[in-house]
Amino acid sequence: MRAKRGNPNRFITQTHSRKEAPLPELPEVETVARGLRERILGKKIRSAKLRSPKHKTENPRNFSSLLTGKTVTDIERRGKHLLVHLSENKTLWCHLGMTGRFVEADSAYKLDKHDHAHFVFAKGKSYTALAFRDVRKFGHLRLVHTDELSTLPEIASLGPEPLTISSQDFVALFSARKRVIKPALLDQHILAGIGNIYADETLHAAGIHPQTRCMDIDKTTLQALHKIIQKTLKKAISSMGTTVDNYSGVNGEPGKFQSYLKVYGREGQPCHKCGAPIIREVIAGRSAHYCEICQSIR
């Protein structure tokens, strides 16, 4: 038995019919990080220009002078955050927000009105130009001291990584919680990197109703969920993420994982397993897609 019986409507706050624009999640941000590594790792910043002072960017007055001359030493992802490590103990922290992305901008590229920052990287005779485009302006750029990253609130508060947490630690993390599983998976303080798309997909694959309390899910099912999360995220990364709205990698190519989606964005369409219509409801303030037959509360 996977979960105890309960009122299936106890956590529903309202029905939801408006499509939400998804934020880039772990696979999308990892895809961007890999694209940046291929293009700028080991290169020196020849120029950095902030084109929109009103954008959410720290150090706006001396943005160029602080970055120019620094060499990119490493690029990593932490949860949904990008960390571009630079020489001289500096790191450019970036959160893509809803629509932020890095776009290759060669000599023939015409800057867009939504390109809020422009960078030129060089190593020998090899040059790479990138623009940071953000239509909705929810993205964020901030230059920080690398050895102070652990104290940066946005990073310090993150939970463990879904791809590296052990099955034992995953079960311990969720088994004693009274919270509902869907919002718990979305809580970056508990587990870093999962958003609506992959929470919906993994819960469906595990046969868990999104309203089920964590403490009501047995150990075996939590272990299965852990394995499904890691398998799904790895497959999404190999597919360069999911493009539902306007996400694309640094190469400008959209992701391909949307062709594998079983429930997310499929409201009213038949479940691939049983044929029942996929339901979309708001649970604890966030939309959830699920099949009430395959994911019934038992």
Average pLDDT over residues 268-276: 97
pLDDT confidence of 19, banded at 50, 70, 90? low
Average pLDDT over residues 145-150: 93
* pLDDT for position 7: 38
**pLDDT tens, position by position, 56-109:** 666 677 889 999 999 999 999 999 999 999 999 999 999 999 999 999 987 777
pLDDT confidence of 246, banded at 50, 70, 90? confident
Q: Which residues are catalytic?
A: 24-25, 80, 286
Average pLDDT over residues 131-135: 92
Q: First-to-last CA distance in the chain?
A: 7
* pLDDT for position 18: 42
Task: Kindly tell me if the per-residue pLDDT of 128 is higher than 50.
Answer: yes
d(CA 162, CA 213): 20
Average pLDDT over residues 147-168: 96
pLDDT confidence of 3, banded at 50, 70, 90? very low
pLDDT confidence of 6, banded at 50, 70, 90? very low
Q: Which tops the pLDDT comparison, 137 or 82? A: 82
Task: Kindly tell me if the per-residue pLDDT of 5 is higher than 50.
Answer: no
Ranges 12-26, 44-58, 98-112, most confident: 98-112
Average pLDDT over residues 41-61: 80
Q: What is the average pLDDT score of the chain?
A: 90
Question: How many CB atoms sit inside 10 A of residue 17's CB?
Answer: 8
* pLDDT for position 123: 94
DSSP 96-143: -TTT-EEEE--TTPPPPTTEEEEEEEEETTEEEEEEEE-SS---EEEE
pLDDT confidence of 277, banded at 50, 70, 90? very high
Domains and CATH numbers, the chain: 12-19+159-290 (1.10.8.50), 27-156 (3.20.190.10)
pLDDT confidence of 127, banded at 50, 70, 90? very high
d(CA 115, CA 125): 25
* pLDDT for position 63: 87
